[in-house]
Structure 1
Amino acid sequence: MHGQLPYFAARTQIIVLGFVCFGCPGMFNALNGTGGGGQVDRTAGNNANTALYVCFIFSGLFGGAIVNKCGIRFTMFTGGIMFALYSGSYIYYNHSGQPWFTIWAGAMLGLGAGVFWTAQGMVMMSYPLEHEKGKFITIFWIIFNLGGVIGGIVLLATNYNHEGPLSDAAYAAFLAIEVCGAFCALVLAPPSKVKRSDGSSIEIKRVENILDDALAILRLFADPWMLILVPMMFSSNFYYSYQFGPYNGSLFTTRTKGFNNIWYWGAQMATSFGLTKLLDYQLLSRKRRALIGVAITFCAVNAVWGGTLKMQSKYTHGASASGPTDYPGGPIDFMQTARAAGPCILYACMGIQDALWNNMAYWLLGTITNDATRLARYAGFYKAIQSLGAAVSWQLDAKDAKFQTQLIVNWVLLDLSAALMFYLSFRIKDTASEFAECKPESIERIEAEKAHTFNA
């Protein structure tokens, strides 16, 4: 540790970051995983998510500049409070039936979450040394997704004998945990005081003009590597609306939705732990690790969505005010062991695919550079494009697009993105400083013209 206090060690800060996300987006994920924010009619939840991700696009683009200007503690605390506001809004919806407050809270969450996730991405990608990036991502991912597991337990416990919309007690429990998570952000150390495991410091150039830095993020649309990864970013949250709504939200009883979330997010923890063994395996070149990781992800995508297509062929809609689901036998309850085993296991496998996809996305971005300022911009760009995809996907469900149509769009998009991830993997060198050497001459020329983007 080279003499630094354990509190200022990069690994300690990643652990603290994990608990911030455990309490805030971890609980949000558990709530969102029930479909429609836990409501039988998913319209309000879908529209709130659309408002969330539309606002997320803009806050993500400005996120890198705001984080560099205001620091990670203030930005993550403010963003964390917005998660609590969103969960609490459903208590009002339960009693009034009016969606406006939930939609407004979704928009406020989008503004806060774009900056929140930009700060998270900058920390997670820039604090570890190159050979530690997989391990640090896993430490974070396990703690973060433990939030989803605990959230699933909360949902199961508070709705065990309750059918229909989630109870006020469930929403209140989520609100309380999210407030605690937001306050954990104030424990984070300033990046300038953090030391990596070799004793080196985190260097972040001070931003004097937020607008100029935001324009630098927009200029990433001229960065060939960012453009290659746009489909990967666009698709990285796109499938949530289908998995949480037409699948988990439509097929299962209220308590089983919570039960499923325990295994969905638990599977992510185990998958992330296994993947890091590959991504940090130093006896293989980084290119080979990238190719193997993307290949595993590609196989998981096609296995999971192939199984989902088989399930989807059995029904066309979930329960609603107009009647029950047309799935044979009605909603599935986890106590119906023989009937529930296959569908519940498939949902857990969706969690495996999600962990593979997002872990590989962060790791691939981290191979391009080690510069914290650039990584903050990359993180903001990533979350903006990711949010654009999510806004589109939540509206597909809000507009009652056929479930099978949503499934096919997801599957095609993921396979296209995986092909481009393979292309990037073939260009990877063993250190980020060598990355530019593997680029085609035309790309080098474009980047030379845009050098101020990278060095601002």
Structure 2
Amino acid sequence: MPVALRENSAEDYEHGAFDPRADLPAGWRYKTLSFGKKITWYASPAAQLFMVAMVCFMCPGMFNALGGLGGGGKADATTADNMNVALYSTFAVFGYFGGVFVNWLGVRACLAFGGTGYSIYTVALLVSEHSDRTGAFSIIAGAFLGVCAGILWTAQGTIMISYPNEAQKGRYFAWFWAIFNMGGVIGALIPLGQNIHVSGSSQTVGDGTYIGFIVLMAFGCFLAFFLVNGKTVIRGDGSKVVLMKNPTFKSEMRGLVETFKYCPWVVLLFPMFFASNWFYTYQQNAVNGARHSTRTKALNSCLYWFAQVVGAFLVGYVLDGIKMRRSIRAKLTWGMLVVSTMVIWGGGYASQKQYTRADTNSKEWVPIDWTSKNYISGMFLYIFYGFYDSLWQGSVYWLMGALSNSGRRSANFVGFYKGIQSAGSAVMWSIDAHHVSFMGEFAANWGLLMGALLIAAPVMFFKVRDHISIEEDLEGTDETLADVLPSGHAEKVGAV
């Protein structure tokens, strides 16, 4: 007879279902620490999420701070645009197949390798400031970062949506996204502090800014070695993450195909994935980089990433905290995204009508400084753009987490997400490199976002269920209930 499995609860041990002090294996990974009524250990989902958040704080967080200045901090965005085309082209490939590498090599190796590309990318930007003959190195650095980022983000997403239990997936996103984006906030303070007296025309940030980013990114790569792999992680109720036994590259490629077999409707989410980073190019280059002075760009970037922190906590805790069935929350999430897309991007349309790319390229153009009378409205728009990004990303991660609790299947979902997301980014960076009008870029953003929501509606309305059983998550893997449940757990919950 099949086993009746109740939904995991992080507080099970408080009710006698699981006593971590008595039931955890021996070893330093499972030495318990008490924080009031909360008990945790190093190989717990919460501790591992914090570790991966710190890696992303140092690596992609600092990368976001640099990119938020527009043009990678350079007055002429062409070099950064071309590097980003190469970056997101390889990101698309390695992100799409990222689940294969994560399941095959483990999250620790993938995060450690993935962090290396960020500092090399920043070195290329620094070198390009001192030589006109670094075009090939810049493109190679961008392409290598795409390989690294595809693998890193798939590992990160796997941890974030498969390690927690079903009742905690929204808040896990909130914790991660807040810590990660504080990297963008603090990173933006570096160029802000160094350029705080530069109120004139837009210009490239100094060497010290690039060097600061390089050092922090390298440290983030080092931190990844302190993570544990998913097979050693034990949740608060004693259950383990669903993984594949003895995975090989061949078995994981087969698993990628099986994901489409068991979840064919995932293709309806692909436009939503494609749109999820599409707007960064427009926001960073056409809104922040083209319109503002050096110090104002840095301030805007800081405010943008801080708005992401606020938005992450809002969407994460609302999605977990609303006292209604998960299927209903999915429908409300869709409605929230439709309304916010129309309101925030409607404000963006009113702003974009005020200037063109030709205006910002003319010798008469005077960049907006924070002392300018017309700065405040643009500042609030940029804050809401950052807030909107966290709503979109949080909703997508929560949706993927609602569709499966399996680490293996989640890795494939996140791989699809990051790969297709990066393909969209590559297209948009290429569009900007070809100097398409700002209004044309804006229209492409708004139209794509609304179209993606319409296509994703059937999944959000009909495929999100209130609970996914462990038996369903094990389908298509070599794992059994005994591999993922603590000893005696099945007997405690009874048989049907």
Does residue 403 of structure 1 match 2:438? Answer: yes
Residue 13 (structure 1) aligned with residue 52 (structure 2): no
**2:82 aligns to what?**
47
| Equivalent in the alignment of 1:26 | 61
Q: 2:318 aligns with which of 261, 278, 297?
A: 278
Superposed CA deviations along residues 398-432 of structure 1, whole A, max 9, x for unmatched, are 01111111111110110111223332221121012
How far apart, in 1, do the equivalents of 2:277 and 2:162 lie? 22
SS in 1 for 2:321: coil
Matches within 5 A, 1:84-233: 84-97=119-132, 98-162=134-198, 163-206=202-245, 208-217=247-256, 220=259, 223-233=263-273
Q: State the Cα distance separating 1:282 from its structure 2 match.
A: 5.3
Contact 2:242 2:479 in 1 (8 A): no
The residue aligned with 1:443 is none
Structure 1 stretches (4+) deviating beyond 6 angstroms? 453-456
The 1:206/1:367 distance shift into structure 2, 3 A limit, reads: same
Asked if 2 retains the 8 angstrom alpha-carbon contact of 1:80 and 1:181, the reply is: yes
Are the counterparts in 2 of residues 217 and 381 from structure 1 also a CA contact under 8 Å? Answer: no
Residue type at the aligned position of 1:401? V
List per-residue Cα deviations over 1:4-24 (Å, max 9, x = no partner).
Answer: 432111111111111110000
Specify which of 73, 78, 86 is matched with residue 108 of structure 2. 73
Is 152-161 or 369-378 further displaced after alignment? 152-161
User: Cα deviation per residue 1:163-192 (whole Å; 9 max; x = unaligned)?
Assistant: 511111111111111111111111111211
- 1:7 aligned counterpart, secondary structure: coil
Q: CA deviation at 1:352?
A: 0.7
Equivalence map 1:234-249=2 (5 Å): 234-249=274-289
Per-residue deviation, 1:296: 1.6
Partner Cα separation in structure 1 for residue 479 and residue 364 of structure 2: 55
Larger deviation: 72-81 or 16-25?
72-81
Q: What is the one-letter code of the residue matched to 1:303?
A: V
1:361 partner letter? V
> Contact 2:103 / 2:252 at 8 angstroms: preserved in 1?
no
Partner of 2:426: 391
CA apart distance, 1:161: 3.2
- Measured in 1, the distance between the counterparts of 2:43 and 2:359 equals 51
Match of 1:257 among 285, 291, 297: 297
Quickly say closer, same or farther: Cα 1:415–1:174, change in 2 above 3 A.
same
Range 427-436 or range 362-371, more displaced: 427-436
CA distance in structure 2 between the partners assigned to 1:454 and 1:379 by the alignment: 21
The Cα offsets for residues 351-386 of structure 1, whole Å up to 9 and x where unpaired, read as 011000000001101111111111111111111111
Q: One-letter code of the match for 2:159?
A: V
Work out whether residues 258 and 476 of structure 2, in 8 Å CA contact, stay in contact via their aligned partners in 1.
Answer: no
How far did residue 307 of structure 1 move?
1.0
Unaligned runs of 5+ in 2: 1-12, 14-19, 22-29, 32-40, 481-496
Q: Distance in 2 between matches of 1:452 and 1:203?
A: 11
Q: Does the 8 Å contact 1:52/1:106 carry over to 2?
A: yes
Q: What is the number of residues matched between the two proteins? A: 437
Shift of 1:125: 0.8
Q: Distance in 2 between matches of 1:318 and 1:269?
A: 34
- TM-score where L is the length of structure 2: 0.84
Worse overlay, 248-257 or 62-71: 62-71
Mapped to 1, the partners of 2:232 and 2:196 lie a distance apart of 47
- Structure 2 CA distance, aligned partners of 1:453 and 1:129? 20
Taking a change above 3 Å as real, the CA distance of residues 128 and 209 of structure 1, as seen in their structure-2 partners, is same
Stretch moving more, 421-430 or 182-191? 421-430
CA deviations over 1:240-291 (Å, ceiling 9, x no partner): 1101111111111111111001110101111111112221125211022122
Does the aligned pair in 2 maintain the 1:61–1:218 contact within 8 Å?
A: no
Contact 1:278–1:293, Cα closer than 8 Å, also in 2? no
Give the C-alpha shift of residue 396 in structure 1: 0.7
Q: Where do residues 418-433 of structure 1 align in structure 2 (5 Å cutoff)? A: 418-427=453-462, 428-433=464-469
Quick check: which has more Rg, 1 or 2? 2
Deviates more, 1:214-223 or 1:37-46: 214-223
- 1:294 is displaced (CA, Å) by 2.2
Pair 1:214–1:35, CA change in 2 (3 A): farther
- More divergent stretch after superposition (65-74 vs 381-390): 65-74
Which residue of structure 1 lines up, in the alignment, with residue 337 of structure 2?
297
Residues 357 and 438 of structure 2 are in contact (CA less than 8 Å); yes or no, is this contact kept in structure 1? yes
CA shift at 1:207, angstroms?
5.2
Distance in 2 between the 1:416 and 1:432 partners?
28
Compute the displacement of 1:433 (Å).
Answer: 3.2
Moved more, 25-34 or 67-76: 67-76
AA aligned to 2:213 is F
Is the helix fraction higher in 1 or 2? 1
Partners of 1:76 and 1:324 in 2: how far apart? 45
Q: Tell me how far apart the structure 2 counterparts of residues 412 and 373 of structure 1 sit (CA, whole Å).
A: 33
Contact 2:245 2:479 in 1 (8 A): no
How far the C-alpha of 1:293 sits from its partner, in A, is: 2.0
Aligned to 2:36: none
Report which stretch shifted further, 108-117 or 184-193: 184-193
1:416 counterpart = 2:451: yes
CA separation of 1:409 and 1:57: change in aligned 2, threshold 3 A: same
Structure 1 segment 298-313 matched on structure 2, within 5 A: 298-313=338-353
SS at match of 1:8: coil
Unaligned residue ranges in structure 1 (runs of 5+): 437-450
Distance in structure 2 (CA, Å) of the matches to 1:434 and 1:452: 12
TM-superposed deviation, 1:220: 4.7
Note the C-alpha offset of 1:80: 0.5
Identity of counterpart residues, as a percentage? Answer: 36
Give SS of 1:367's match.
helix
Shift of 1:394: 0.6
Deviations 1:33-76 (A, max 9, x none): 11211111111111111100111122123321211222211211
Aligned residues of 2:92 and 2:422 also touching (Cα < 8 A): yes
Whether the aligned pair in 1 keeps the contact of 2:243 and 2:479 (CA below 8 Å) is: no
Distance (whole Å) between structure 1 residues aligned to residue 69 and residue 478 of structure 2 = 41
Equivalent residues of 2:95, 2:154 under 8 A apart? yes
